[in-house]
């Protein structure tokens, strides 16, 4: 049992548990699962700057910020306390592609240090991968009105065709970046 908790969880365990978060939030407080909204609430709380979209009672959405705080706590417990393998067990094909196309050599950790270590902010890689990437995530999710949790999981679970459009957009963007932009960058 302990070993089961320590090892990475297979999709058929994790996926259904993620799915159950949708009814859990509804039953507990009539809340729709959605995480990117928390970014808006933080902006509204810290730097509203008179912008109409950031001028609302963000305190009424406090549950969302607490949920996100929980996610960070869960990240700590799930990784540091429950343990983790040195290397994420991705497919050999992916390792091969990342070695040959992106020239990565270090596959330890959750993200490649060669791109995401803080000292990369001294060169273009850090600015593209952390700053530009994060910016696009924050800009795009709000423009689309949701992210993977709000559209893909919550929205599709509730049979919202609008969310299907959003998810197709997510994938189109991801495929263009991976297959078209990455080869140009490296």
Q: Exactly one of 124, 136, 183, 186 binds another protein (CB under 8 A); which one?
A: 136
What are the Cα distances from residue 67, in Å, to 21, 29, 33? 11, 12, 10
Which residues are CB-neighbours of 111 under 8 A, at least 6 positions away? none
Regarding 61 and contact with another protein (CB under 8 A), the answer is: no
* Distance in Å, CB of 104 to another protein, minimum: 9
Kindly state whether residue 156 participates in binding another protein, applying the rule CB under 8 A.
yes
Min separation Cβ 59 and another protein, Å: 11
Burial class (CB in 10 A: 0-12, 13-18, 19+), 77: exposed
Contact between residue 25 and residue 32 where contact means Cβ atoms under 8 Å apart: yes
Report the interhelical angle of 37-46 vs 62-76 (nearest 10°). Answer: 110
76-135: which residues touch another protein (CB under 8 A)?
A: 76-80, 82, 84, 88-91, 93-94, 97-98, 107, 109-112, 115-118, 120-121, 126, 128-135
Could you tell me the smallest distance in angstroms from the CB atom of residue 123 to another protein?
Answer: 14
Q: Tokens 């990240």 label which residue?
A: 75
* Using rule CB under 8 A, residue 183 touches another protein: no
Residue 117 CB, nearest approach to another protein (Å): 7
> Which of 24, 99, 100, 106 lies at the binding interface for another protein (CB under 8 A)?
24
Decide: is 186 part of the binding site for another protein (CB under 8 A). no
**Which residues within the stretch 34-53 sit at the binding site for another protein (CB under 8 A)?**
35-36, 38-40, 42-43, 47, 49, 51-53
Instruction: Please report, for the chain, how many H helices and E strands are present, in that order.
Output: 11, 0
Return the ∠ at Cα 124 (arms to 121 and 129), rounded to 5°. 75
């Amino acid at each position: 049992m302990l070993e089961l908790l320590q090892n990475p969880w297979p999709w058929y365990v994790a996926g259904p548990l993620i799915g159950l978060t949708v009814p859990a939030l509804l039953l507990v407080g009539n809340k729709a699962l959605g995480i990117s909204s928390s970014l808006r609430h933080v902006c509204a709380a810290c730097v509203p700057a008179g912008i109409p979209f950031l001028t609302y009672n963000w305190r009424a959405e406090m549950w969302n910020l607490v949920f996100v705080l929980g996610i960070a706590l869960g990240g700590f417990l799930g990784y540091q306390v429950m343990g983790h393998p040195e290397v994420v067990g991705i497919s050999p094909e992916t390792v091969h592609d990342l070695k040959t196309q992106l020239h990565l050599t270090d596959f330890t950790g959750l993200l490649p240090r060669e791109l995401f270590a803080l000292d990369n902010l001294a060169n273009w890689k850090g600015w593209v991968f952390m700053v530009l990437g994060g910016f696009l995530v924050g800009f795009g999710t709000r423009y689309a009105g949701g992210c993977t949790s709000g559209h893909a999981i919550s929205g599709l679970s509730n049979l919202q065709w609008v969310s299907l459009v959003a998810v197709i957009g997510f994938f189109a963007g991801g495929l263009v970046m991976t297959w078209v932009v990455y080869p140009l960058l490296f």
